[in-house]
Chain A
């Protein structure tokens, strides 16, 4: 009788111990947190490859400072060449092979959308997709937290400024013919409608187009006095250049993608002077202490030779900042649910981007997972210097 009871108790405790182990979170051990990210290191979008590299170097700094509550962040980044098939392959390999605690950043709307359902079905948190598409919050997902402001909001802000402050009446938009551009188009249309205006020209730009003359001719024909450039860097430079060659000089306004003024000024051979851009992070020459600290301790210490301290690079940092902050707040006893709770509790947390706030999950409220709602505008001066035109503005 005693023996049987003893065996029974030991069996029960063994089962209890095993189940305790099973309750330990995937992707996490006592000393490590596994975080995954994809980014285009090759392919036509490879210029955005500096985003994951920025996050990587940021985590290196965190680990050098002792990690978070004794755990080091193991950052797994892979190259998906902006090809959703490869993104999915890589995400599956890491999630099912190594086990990933959370996903951070991740460049591209299409690659992200290919893996969104997979990651959400597994209830793995994903913080800060590197794209401002409305897809992330319509519908809002419990485990998906955005940090990058919506392209839609950037468009609204730019239009508002050009109408109210600059007094422009004829606004045109050259938009890249994909999700990014269409979001911008939507925002512009809505904001102009609020002021009783319409876009005088809506000019689609194909990714493969290299010759911008038909586009500029359309712009010129519409007699626009402000043109929103909702394209990639190369197209934006070409559009500005072709316009200059055709002696057409509207006020150019661009998104954050083209807001890296020192860089843009250099590759556009000075054409970028006077361009107004929306941006959601400190400008490259900012004096803010945290910004300078990152430059010194992340970039100068860990960045590879040939890396540039540009917007894409430090985007990798600020897209991960809320994640790191929530990890710190969750304490030593870390689970995914606690991480989600801490993220929801973030209110006006500010790193080197705008203030980040979330709300408890409500499937009917897209803004509960929309982290940053504010941006500010800057203008390019001679030599690539930046002039702040507005302060942080919150856009509805």
Chain B
């Protein structure tokens, strides 16, 4: 029985990074209907930026983290402004390919600048010390990430529902022309969306970097985050988070009881099954195509 709880706790722990990535992707999708494949590499660049200022410029941890967050904010702004906006009359698939191209550029850049050797990010909280709850263990870092993920989700949810900027973002997604008519500067709104999303992804990147860093570290979390966002509904923030945790738990339970090799496969099979019953994800309102 204790094993079952351990697996659930482990699933929640790993689900936090999926949740953060999923949140990041949903934020962008909500406002511009673009699936951002470069999400992982944006977080990667921010994490390596943190590594660089901590290792080479000896900036202490508590100053480096806010600096990194600001960096990722501006990275998001920059990418949207310089690249996505320049696309003339793009199709959905075209935008996806642009993000894929961006992903390659960012990944190549990080690998070029930092080399391929494994690195470790100096972190005050060790990823290897754990907190014991009964017979169940979770590492201190995981508890922190969990807390961050949940609070971020709450903040974002409230932000989108109640703040002016958040409502403006929703309006931009629903009908850009009407939004512009109402005086919303849609270009700027989309740019800020990218910034917020980049910061969310940066949290995910940092929590993964605390253990081990190398240029390919964000691929798996991004995929799983994307899968979770899809399962939860690409337009629903709580949905993405819930689905991410669910995904983590299912993976761990399956890996523990049945087969470790196939745990990722099963995750995707479950998602496909869910989508068969709810084609728009668990929590999103089913988008009805107008004829």
Report yes or no: A214 in contact with B255, Cβ–Cβ below 8 A: yes
Which of A41, A46, A49, A203 is in CB contact (< 8 Å) with B260? A203
Name B's interface SS: mixed
A204 CB to closest chain B CB (Å) equals 5
B245 CB to closest chain A CB (Å) equals 13
Report yes or no: B137 in contact with A49, Cβ–Cβ below 8 A: no
A268 CA to B220 CA in the complex, in Å?
Answer: 21
A306 CA to B56 CA in the complex, in Å?
Answer: 13
A1 CA to B220 CA in the complex, in Å?
Answer: 84
In the complex, B280 has a CB within 8 A of chain A: no
In the complex, A238 has a CB within 8 A of chain B: yes
A213 CA to B116 CA in the complex, in Å?
Answer: 25
User: What total of chain B residues lie within 8 Å of the partner, measured CB to CB?
Assistant: 42
- CB contact under 8 A between A213 and B220, given known A206-B264, A271-B128: no
Of the candidate stretches A156-164, A241-249, A293-301, A347-355, the one touching chain B is A241-249
Report yes or no: B130 in contact with A237, Cβ–Cβ below 8 A: no
In the complex, A215 has a CB within 8 A of chain B: yes
**Nearest residue, chain B, Cβ from A214:** B255
**Nearest residue, chain A, Cβ from B255:** A214
Which of B116, B139, B216, B256 is in CB contact (< 8 Å) with A49? B116
In the complex, A89 has a CB within 8 A of chain B: no
A204 CA to B261 CA in the complex, in Å?
Answer: 6
Report yes or no: B260 in contact with A267, Cβ–Cβ below 8 A: no
**Nearest residue, chain B, Cβ from A269:** B120
Which of B3, B13, B115, B139 is in CB contact (< 8 Å) with A217? B3
B15 CB to closest chain A CB (Å) equals 10
A269 CA to B210 CA in the complex, in Å?
Answer: 10
In the complex, A47 has a CB within 8 A of chain B: yes
A185 CB to closest chain B CB (Å) equals 13
User: What total of chain A residues lie within 8 Å of the partner, measured CB to CB?
Assistant: 40
In the complex, B278 has a CB within 8 A of chain A: no
- CB contact under 8 A between A209 and B220, given known A47-B116, A203-B260, A234-B118: yes
In the complex, A266 has a CB within 8 A of chain B: yes
- CB contact under 8 A between A237 and B7, given known A208-B219, A214-B255: no
A202 CB to closest chain B CB (Å) equals 10
Q: Which of B234-266 contact A (CB under 8 A)?
A: 248, 251-252, 255-256, 260-261, 263-264
In the complex, B196 has a CB within 8 A of chain A: no
Among A211, A217, A221: residue with most chain B CB under 10 A: A211
Given A237-B211, A247-B137, 19 more pairs with CB closer than 8 A: A42-B111, A47-B116, A205-B260, A206-B261, A208-B220, A209-B220, A211-B10, A213-B252, A214-B255, A214-B263, A217-B256, A218-B256, A238-B211, A245-B127, A245-B137, A245-B138, A267-B119, A267-B120, A269-B126
**15 residue pairs from A and B, CB less than 8 Å apart:** A43-B216, A203-B260, A204-B260, A208-B220, A210-B221, A211-B252, A213-B252, A214-B256, A214-B260, A214-B263, A241-B211, A263-B118, A267-B120, A269-B128, A308-B117
* Residues of B in contact with A (beta carbons under 8 Å apart): 3, 6-7, 10, 13-14, 108, 111, 115-120, 126-130, 132, 137-139, 208, 211-212, 214-217, 219-221, 248, 251-252, 255-256, 260-261, 263-264
